[in-house]
Structure formats: C-alpha cells, structure tokens
A and B are shown apart, each in its own frame.
Chain A
Amino acid sequence: MAETKEKSLSDEKPKPRVRPIVRLGIFLISHSFHVSVVCCTAGVLALFLLPVLAKNTYISENALMPGSASPMLSNQHVSDGNRLVKDLTNPNSKSSETGIESHKIIAQYMLDLGAEVSFHKFHPQMNQFHPLHFFSSPDSGKIQENYSCSSYGINTVGIIRAPHGDGKEAIVLVTPYNALKSGFGEALSLGIAYSVFSLLTQVTWLAKDIIWLVADSQYGEYAAVAAWLREYQTPKFSSLSTPNAEMCPDVNNLFELKGHSISGSKFSNSFRRAGTMASALVLKVRDQNEQFEDTISIYAEASNGQMPNLDLINVVNYLAVHRQGLRVNVEKLWSLLNSSWLKSLGEIFESLAKVAKSLYPKWKFGIPATEYVEGTATLASSLYYQALGVPTGPHGAFRDYQVDAITLEISPKFSLDKVWRNDILLRGGRLIEGVIRSVNNLLEKFHQSFFLYLLTSPSKFVSVGVYMIAFAFLIAPLPMVAASLYVDANSSSNCSKGDSSTPSAITDTDEHSIAIRSWRWLNSAKLVFIVHLWGAIVSLLPYFISQIPDCSPTTSFMIWVLLSILSLLTLNSVLASPLACAKATQEKEWALVKSVTISSVFIGLGLMSVINFATAEIGALLMVPMCLLAQPLKLDVRAGTLRSFCRMICNLVLGHIAFPPAALFLLKGMLDGFGNANVGDFWMWVESLWAWNSATYLFIVEVTYIFSHG
C-alpha cells in the first residue's frame, strides 16, 4: 500500500496542498539513494544487535511444570541399564553378520519389561527429489520397485501402554543404534533409554504411551527414523503395495526365532502403533569428549529451517541445568569465537550500554563482550543451519509430521570407571525422565511458545518480532528504489512528450504514446519473466539429470551446464523475439527493467522470509546491494567518471561474488545429491535456487545489457 501512495503522488503533478503522508512519500522517493543507504546500514547493524536484544527464555506452557516432581529413577533401574550395556558390548553378540543378535537382545529386554515389541524392516530409501513435490502434502512417499534382500534395516520398537491414558497420544524416544559397528556411546545411550523405559513400565502417572524406537543407523540415522515415521503415519491398506521385505529369508528367520522362543507373548509381526505423537526425543551419547564437564548438546534445526517449539528446548535446558547439573550447549560457529573484530564490536556495545546506563539507570540492555561474542557465534550457526535447511539430526524427520523433536547429545567426561558410568546413566536417565514427565503433563500439542526464533544461547532467544525488524530494514529500500525508478522512467517520457507536442497537434501519435506509457513496463516484465523461467528450468534440470544412470558428478554437472545454456538459447529464440523490437528504446528501458527486477526480488525475498527466514536474510544481505547497484556496464563506461567506474567495479565484483556461490552451492549439491541427500536437502536446493535465481538473473540481465550495448 505504501508503494501505491508513493506512486500515486508522483504520477500526479505536485499540487500546492499535499497531505503530509504524500509529502513524506515524495521525500522518500526523491531521496531514495540516501534512504536506501541508511536503511541497509540500519539493517546490518540491527542484525549485529540481535544478540544484545535477545531475551531470556521462559516456560510458557503452565502445564509442563518441569522439575516439580522429584525423579523416581533409582539405582535399580540404572543397574538394569548397565546390564543391557554389558550384554550389548559383549563380543558374543556381535557374531552375527547382520547384527540381528543385538536387536534380539534389545527386543528380549523390552519383552521382559512387559512392553509390546515389534520389528520394523525398511529399505534405505534414496530420497529422490521430485520437482512437483512442493505442492503436495509431505507424506506422499514413493514406493520403490526394486528392493533387494541384501540391504535392509531393522528398527526395534517397544511400546508401553499408559495405565491412565486412552492410547490417543504418545511420546517417542529414539536411540540410533548401529548393530554392526556400535561404539560404546551408542550402547550407553541404549542403556540410558532402557533404564528410563524400565522405570516407565512401573510408574502410575503415565498418561501417554511411550514408544522406544531403536533406529538401525547403518544406513544413516535420519533414513531409519524417516522410514519408520513414514510407515507410522501413512498406513498401507493394500497388501500388494507393501515392500516385500518379508520375502527375504533372513528376516523371516528372525521372526521364526522370535516366535519360537517367546510364544504367546506381546511380540508381534505386524507394525505396531500408539497414538499421535506429542513430542520426540532423540538420545545420543558421544564416544569421546575433550571437555572437562558433562555437557549436553541440543540440536533442534529440522528441514527447511523449521524449529521445534521453544518450550521443549526450555524444559530440557531447565532440567539439565537446574536439576541434573549438566552444562547445556547449542551449536556455535567456533571460528567466530576468536575473531577480534567481533570482540571489539562487543566492547563497543558494552561501553555504549554503560553510557546509556549512566544517563538513565533504568536502561539495562548491555551484555558483556565475551557473552556478546558467544551469542553472535551461536546466532550465526543458528542462522547457518536454518538457512542450509538440512536437518541436524534424526529429529528433522519428525518435524515433517508436525511433531516437535530435538536431539540430545550427551558428551560425558570420559573414563571407564564403573561409578562414572552409573553416574551418567543416572543423570541422563533422570533428565529424560523429567522431560517425559513434563511432556506427559501436556493437555494439548505444544503451541504456547515460539516456533519462529533464533537461539543465541541455550537460555536466550530472539523472537520473530525482533529479527524481522532487521530484515525489514534490509529490504525496505527495494520497493522505494523500484518506485523511484518507475516514476523516473515515466516522467522522463512525459517530459519528452511535452516537448514534442504542441497544443494544436493532438494527433494519433500522441495518443499512441499515451497508450504505451502506463503499460510500458510490460516489455521489461516479459524480459524478467523469461529470465525467471530460465532459472526455473535450470533449477529443475538436476532432477532429470539424476535420472541418467551411471553418471559421475562431474559429467552430470557438465550436462547440466550445457543444458542450461541450451535452454536459455531456445527460450531466447522462442519467446524473446519481441524483445528485438524494444531494442531501440533500450537505453531508457533499463530503468524499467531494473524497477521490475527489483520489485520481483522484493516479492521473492518477502516470500522467502515467510518460508525460511535465515535463507531470506542471507540472500538479502547478498542481493540487496547488488540490486541497488546494478547498472548497465555500457552506460558506466560511457560516462567515464570516477564514480561510475567505482560503481562498475562494484557491480562486477558483486556479480561474481553472488554468482559463484550459486555455482559452488550447486556443485556441492550435485556431489552429495547423487549420494545420500534427503528431501530436506533438496528442498533446500530448490529454495536456495529460487533465491539464487534472482541473483543469477540480475547478473544475466546485466550481461544481456552488456551484449546489447556492445
């Protein structure tokens, strides 16, 4: 709407009496250069201010009541867990090649506790990216035809039915476990889960079913969890379409053994389900650790920059810090921690805060410089992982089904002492127990707290309302500059018309020029559309290339480059023929093209900020200066002044900086895209492509202008 006003007033001649808001609009448009510089600087500055503006987290859902009950996990349960760890690490259990033995042991342990147990067999699914998947619902997993018996994984699933529950809800506990080459850490995580599980079979307060999923991580943790979830959420009704893993003798063997040894028990061959999932915890124990404290790392980023509800992180953080005395960590960009410029920036902010405080004692917004540096490092990694869109752990699979999940990685100070082992089992177990008990109290889904936030430390966050300000500052110049360019282009044509036409000669040519005037942008819109179309084609090409069998990444990359150039040429010849007519007026036209381009970039960035804020922010940081500086090179060369020369250099540099990342990104995408990228990964690629396309097309627009003027 602001744009409307701006445009409206500048289309009309300035009258003696204008309303203040109109005058403001005129002012903004006429000074768009200064305003955009100020806005961009403010945007970048606000981004750096975010760690200062971060608020302390608080538990927003009252029903959670973390830590209000004293933990019930006793040494008895810990010794149970210890027993499982011993059995699993026992070399005898690893005799079998497929690691079935250890799964049997786990299943046996679960059965002994009185849980319902089932095995879930899955085939590691190469997650293929489908170009049209964006429109369909997330659960439309494709069933592949060619399964082989050689590669399959087995998830062991144990379910405790809640004594007070109605079986409509469940909490999931996931422990990734690779039976073939399991480290001690994995066995320990199983031990912790088992001790909690054994406690939960006895407690009376349980209102939600507990599902313990031992995910077979030999094909990757994410794939196993995703396969189980797909099966859980999309039941298959026809027996024909089920993957025929049952045909494989090995698996049947497993079932027979089980059925034989424990007949009439709660073991079942079919897939077992509990209720809808309230939340999920993924538990891991790291094998080696350099730290001197028991720390626990929280990984929360799911696919596409989605985050679990902040309350879940709050509960874990609260229980770990205040009840179990563990140190809580979230991912940081370690390289930033030692950067001196960041430290000096932090000191500047600190001293500024001191000055402010001395002026007015109630202003307390400063944080110490070291804290600022840490906060920035955390924020940067938070932004980075959200922008990347690749989930940081198996919890990412849950978020696709709207289940809040996080991964907890316990990294104990390492020693082989038995006391130490019991201690970590007890504390880890109590932490898990506390979280489960809190979630168990929930009456509805997690909905109270934030979904859109950035963490600056485990107990500090920046909410959407704050970080959007930085982004808004950053992209505010775009519509303004677009409007001013548009107005300039229109008014210049008006002027020329006014010169040429004498009052008596109101002829048809005059009419015609009027007719063109307000729709003249259509030509430039067509150009921009063609470039966008090309970008879309280029971004869809990898899918088709990946269908070609036996292709090394380099050759497929070459094919990709060739095909994209080819498609550009065809598009140009098929669609762009009208452009040739417009060539004569192109000198003036570029302003319109730039205006249309900038508005489309604005739309794109706005859209992206809704989908994935971090990508939009990083994209905006790169693209906004480029959009604002873009200028046909020929004009600059012709002008020959120092200023235009500088601008030309800036253009070239920015154009190259922004373009190679696309190429680099995609090269990387191709390299691991053919290996084991997941849907989230590819989604990200498409999305980053959508963002990058606009960068590329700007570049290309520039290039076309170089050509057309040269």
Chain B
Amino acid sequence: MEKVKKKIGSFSFWNWVTASIIFRLILIYFPKNLNLSSRPEVSTPLTSFRRLAEGYWLKQSFMSPYAGSMYHGSPLLLSLLGPLTINRIEGQPNHLLYSLVSVIADVVSAMLIRATGQNLRLAYLRSLESLDLVKQIEVSGDIAALIYLCNPFTIVACVGLSTSPIENMAVILCLYGACSRLIPLAAFGWVIATHLSLYPAILIIPVIFLLGCGPDSPPRKLFLQRHQQKEVLNQSKLPPRFSWGPVIHFAFWAFLWSVYVLVLCGISLKQFGGLWEMFKSTYGFILTVEDLSPNIGVLWYFFAEVFEFFRNFFLIVFHVNILFMILPLAIRLRHRPCYLAFVYVAICSMLKSYPSVGDSALYLGLLGWFVNELADMQFSLFLFCGYVGVSLLSPVMHNLWIWRGTGNANFYFATAMVYACLQIVLVVEGVSAMLNHDRKLRNLITGKPQDAKS
C-alpha cells in the first residue's frame, strides 16, 4: 500500500518538475514584456545580467572587467557565462542559452535538495527508531525540491536572468556534499559559494557539524536518557561523537580548492590588476555598500541617509550583526546542522547588502526539509499572507515611486522593512518551533504529559 502511494507521489513529483520547467520556458519566451531582468527585486548589482554582459564586453576589449564600477562578480563567472551573453540563435529570444543555463541550474539544485532531503529523512527515521518512537513522516526531500522549483521567487530569479540560481546551486552543492559525506564536493561547493557571494562563508560552521556528527538528529542527551531508562547502553544506537577526521579532511580540500580558484582568477585577471583588484571590487563592494540603488533590503536606505563620518561605524555594526548571531545559534542548534544552515542562510538574506528574491528562494526551499519538525510552527498563515502581500506590494510601490511620481522612496522602503520583519518572524518562529519539537520528543521519552512544555 505504501509502495503504491510512494509511486503515485513520485509520479506527481516528476509531473510537477516538468510543469515548472515548461512554465519557465514559456516565460523565457516573453522577456521583453516581462522586463524582469531590470526589476530591482531580481537583479542587484551583484547578480544583474546586464552588468555581467558589460563586464564580459569590457574584458573582450582588453579592459579590466571591473572598470567603471559596473561588474562586481567573479571573473570565473565571466569566462563561463560571459560568452552566453552575446551568443544568439536566429529567431529565438536573445538570451535563450543563458536562460537555459539558469533553468538547468535550478533543476540541478532541486535534485540536490531532493537527495539531501532523502538523506535527512533517513537519518531522522534512524534516530527515531533508536529512540523507539515510530512515526509516519512526510517525504521531505520531494516537498523541499518542489517548493524550490515552484516557488515564484525562484522562477522570477531564473527568468529574470540573474546569477542567483548559480549561487544557490553552489550553496546547495556544499550542503549536499556535507550531508552525503562527499568531502571534496562539499569543500568545492563551499569555496565556490563563498567566492561568488561571500556570505555563504559562515556555512562552514554547519558543514563542520555535519561532517563531525552527521546529519540532523534529536539532541544527544535524549539518547543517553533513553538508554538510561532502559538501562542498557547500546553504543551502536548512539549517534557518533564529534570526530575531527572529516573536518581536517574538509579543511584540506577547502584549502586546495580555494588555491585553485584563486590561481584561476589570478590568471584571468593577470593584466587587469590581479587578485587585489578582484577582492576590492567584489568583497569590498559587498562590504562597503557602495551602490545605494534601491533593492528589497534595508541597507540602501540607511546608508543613503547616514552621515558620511558615521558610515564606517555603521558598516561595522551592520555586518557584525550577522556575526553576532552565529555563535548562539551554533550552540543551540548544534545537533541540527542542516537546520542551522537554513537559519544562517535566512539571516544572511535578511541582512546582506544587496539581497534579491533569489536568496529568499533558497531559504524557503531549504525550509521544506523540515516539514516534519516544523509541523507545529505558528503564524504559518500569517507569514504566507505576508509574503504574498509584500511580493505584490513591492512592485506597486516601486511603480508609484519611479513611474508615476506620486509616491516616494519611503513607500518602497516601507515594504522592504515589512519584508525584513517577515523574515525575522519566520526565523524566530522557525527556531522556536524546532526547539519545541525537541522538547516534545524529550517529553515523549520521559513520559511527561504534553502540557509541561514552555
């Protein structure tokens, strides 16, 4: 019976995947009308397709791709994707090849998410088994992959020709590698993701936990309690202790890959100022928030208003904000590294200097891994309505400000603030739901009544 159900499930899964791909292809054929690639929600200075094309053009004409503060991405992206910006097929939409690459990146990410989700589910089942709790759980991998593929944010980022599908793919590759213990792959994903957008660098903490103790499981204490109750200490059923071996292995590979990437970048930028130039106009550009054009984040408005002599101070404050949250979260959620990764990604997409909807697409996709654990999450309807409302309101406010002239920057910024608040609520509620879930498991084991929570 279950097999049949599973079969049906996987059948409709592939149906949905095909439907979402077809939908993307249909949208790709209307690039002029949608004009998505010029929307501030989709293309930030870092992910914009136009800037990529400009950088490629500059490089072709033997100038530094970073000249004129137009392009701020990686030089590798330039050599890989650059040629696609000018290649055209007669009678087809202009950027068909490039769009196809984004579609492929999306599908690959979805498949990786699915595989990771299955991994996580197996681990979850195993740990439940060892706790003697039998539970019917959802196929979280499929759900997460479908959420990622059918999310309007992902579709918009993909059709809007931004580079975020590729950045997201690197992040997911890293997590996938860490979950399935393919250490070189994990290191490669981590290095590339960091190279492309800097912020995924903090994912090293969840990756270390993943490699050290394996994928998400209930807290180790629970297992000990359980076995104390039974008074048999079955070591094989305990989750493994932290092991440094894979971590060192990972560090070695990460070092190797980063040297490799840097050498490649150095070669491609040899005559244009070398690596220093690259660091200055990619990481420097990200960290100093030079471009104040409106986006869905909150930093542009703030730094447009702030006095020049406070600027450095506030730059430090805003970036340290992210770093502040790393440690407490890492301590609290160390037994659930994948969830920790989700929380980190969400926080980054909230506080990063040039956020786009592609970042939200990533963490919303990752959220799908935890459907079983987050079943009790509060405010789900409110959050859903909020996301829908903000994503509709933001273009309208932009239109009011830029095209109609009846609104002003505050209108648009208000939606950005609401969006940031929604993300905060999502993270807070998500983390508390996860902690509640752990608590509930503990209560189930110790046999306390359910009401004892809080």
- Chain A positions within 8 Å of B, measured between CB atoms, are 1, 3-4, 7-8, 11, 130, 132-133, 135-138, 306, 402, 445, 451-452, 486, 503, 506, 508, 511-512, 514-519, 521, 525, 595-596, 599-600, 602-603, 606-607, 610-611
Contacts and interface: CB of A to CB of B under 8 A. Distances in A.
Nearest to A11: B378
B392 A135 contact: no
A402 B376 contact: no
A3 B382 CA distance: 7
Nearest to A15: B454
Contact of B425 (A4, A512, A518, A606): A4
B389 interface: yes
Interface stretch (B169-177, B271-279, B401-409): B401-409
Contacts of B382: 3-4, 7
A515 B375 contact: yes
Contacts of A402: 403-405
Nearest to A574: B19
B33 A135 contact: yes
Nearest to B136: A508
Contact of B35 (A136, A451, A508, A606): A136
Contacts of A517: 375-376
Contacts of A515: 138, 372, 375-376
A658 to B, nearest CB: 22
A518 B393 CA distance: 26
B444 interface: yes
Contacts of B32: 136
Contacts of B393: 606-607, 610
Contacts of B404: 306, 402
Given A503-B449, A506-B450, A611-B396, A451 B405 contact: yes
Contacts of A136: 32-35
Nearest to A608: B396
B259 to A, nearest CB: 45
Q: Say what secondary structure dominates the interface of chain B.
A: helix
A514 B375 contact: yes
14 contacts: A132-B30, A136-B32, A137-B35, A486-B381, A508-B134, A508-B135, A515-B372, A517-B375, A518-B380, A521-B384, A596-B381, A606-B393, A610-B397, A610-B400
Given A451-B405, A599-B381, A611-B396, A1 B375 contact: no
Contacts of A1: 421
Bin the interface of chain B by size: 35 or more
B36 interface: yes
A414 to B, nearest CB: 39
B411 to A, nearest CB: 8
A512 B136 contact: yes
Contacts of B392: 603, 607
B379 interface: yes
Contact of A132 (B34, B134, B380, B385): B34
Nearest to A596: B381
Nearest to A510: B450
Contacts of A519: 375, 377, 380
A372 B372 CA distance: 61
A132 to B, nearest CB: 4
B388 interface: yes
B403 A138 contact: yes
Q: Say what secondary structure dominates the interface of chain A.
A: helix
Given A130-B33, A517-B375, A511 B381 contact: no
A544 to B, nearest CB: 14
Nearest to B450: A506
A401 B404 CA distance: 8
Contacts of B377: 518-519
A258 B396 CA distance: 48
Contacts of B395: 135
B39 to A, nearest CB: 8
Interface in B357-380: 372, 375-380
A599 B404 CA distance: 28
Given A515-B372, A518-B377, 13 more contacts: A8-B378, A135-B395, A136-B33, A136-B35, A402-B403, A452-B406, A511-B135, A511-B136, A512-B136, A521-B384, A607-B392, A607-B396, A610-B393
Interface in B133-189: 134-136, 138
B136 A7 contact: no
B33 A133 contact: yes
A515 B373 CA distance: 9
B146 to A, nearest CB: 13
A508 B133 CA distance: 9
Nearest to A506: B444
Kindly list the 3 A-B residue pairs having the minimum CB-CB distance in the complex, ordered from nearest: A515-B375, A132-B33, A451-B406
Contacts of A599: 381, 385
A607 B397 CA distance: 9
A445 B35 CA distance: 28
A607 B134 CA distance: 47
A518 B400 contact: no
A606 B389 contact: yes
Interface string B13-36: 000000000000000001011111
Contacts of B39: 135
A692 B385 CA distance: 20
Nearest to B406: A451
Contacts of A610: 393, 396-397, 400
B423 to A, nearest CB: 14
B385 A603 contact: yes
Contact of B380 (A306, A521, A606, A611): A521
Nearest to A404: B405
Contacts of B30: 132
Contacts of A525: 381, 384
B385 A600 contact: yes
Nearest to B389: A603
B135 A4 contact: no
Nearest to A599: B385
B155 to A, nearest CB: 14
Contacts of A611: 396, 400
Given A8-B378, A306-B404, A607 B389 contact: yes
A4 B380 CA distance: 10
A443 B418 CA distance: 36
A110 to B, nearest CB: 31
Contacts of A606: 389, 393
B408 to A, nearest CB: 9
A506 B449 CA distance: 9
A521 B388 CA distance: 15
A306 B406 CA distance: 8
Nearest to A524: B381
Contacts of A132: 30, 33-34
Contacts of A506: 444, 450
Contacts of A451: 405-406
B159 to A, nearest CB: 11
Most buried by A among B30, B393, B406: B406
A135 B375 contact: no
A345 B294 CA distance: 48
A595 to B, nearest CB: 8
A611 B404 CA distance: 10
B78 to A, nearest CB: 29
Contacts of A486: 381
B414 to A, nearest CB: 11
A135 B36 contact: yes
A674 B244 CA distance: 74
Contacts of A445: 405
Nearest to A131: B33
A132 B34 CA distance: 6
Most buried by B among A7, A138, A511, A517: A511
B428 to A, nearest CB: 11
B41 to A, nearest CB: 11
A486 B33 CA distance: 39
A656 B135 CA distance: 49
A135 B33 CA distance: 7
Interface in B404-448: 404-406, 421, 425, 444
Contacts of A452: 406
